[in-house]
Amino acid sequence: MIAAVVALPAAAAAFQVVGDAIPAPLTDVAGDPVRGRAVVAGRQVGTCVLCHAGPFPEERLPATIAPDLRGVADRLSAGQIRLRLADPRVVNPDTVMPAYFSQEGLVRVGRAWQGRTALTAQQIEDAVAFLMTLKEE
């Protein structure tokens, strides 16, 4: 008998929005800002740098279509940042920013991503932890 290996979709992404934030972390493991920098600044994972500039000296041509991420922790709380990563459409229905932790209403989802979220819950928490280090004051 040949055992079929079936990739089970990740559990449906669930989070609770309060106001314009997701106050509760998505995981029990605290976010790691070092891993989070790799998610945010790495061109392979979050693709954030295609739209956002920030303290990323390795980016020779900083993107300009989205707010510069420098000082984002002065502007937004961790919960507000978490919602903007998980599903920015809650804040701005017309946003061009991808919903990184949602499976709902997405168009043109590549096969590799069907039934999955673009980032895992832990990658979201790591990215939030990194972004909370971006203070200017």
Q: Residue numbers of the site for ligand HEC (CB under 6 A)?
A: 40, 46-48, 50-52, 65-67, 72, 75-76, 81, 84-85, 88, 92, 95-98, 100, 127, 131
Alpha-helical (H) ranges within the chain are: 33-41, 72-75, 78-86, 121-131
| Closest listed residue to residue 71, CA positions, set 132, 9, 6, 3 | 132
Min CB(47)–ligand HEC separation in Å = 5
* Nearest-angstrom CA–CA distance, 9 and 6: 9
Min CB(120)–ligand HEC separation in Å = 12
Nearest residue (CB) to ligand HEC, 5 versus 70: 70
- Lookup: tokens for 109: 């989802």
Nearest residue (CB) to ligand HEC, 7 versus 124: 124
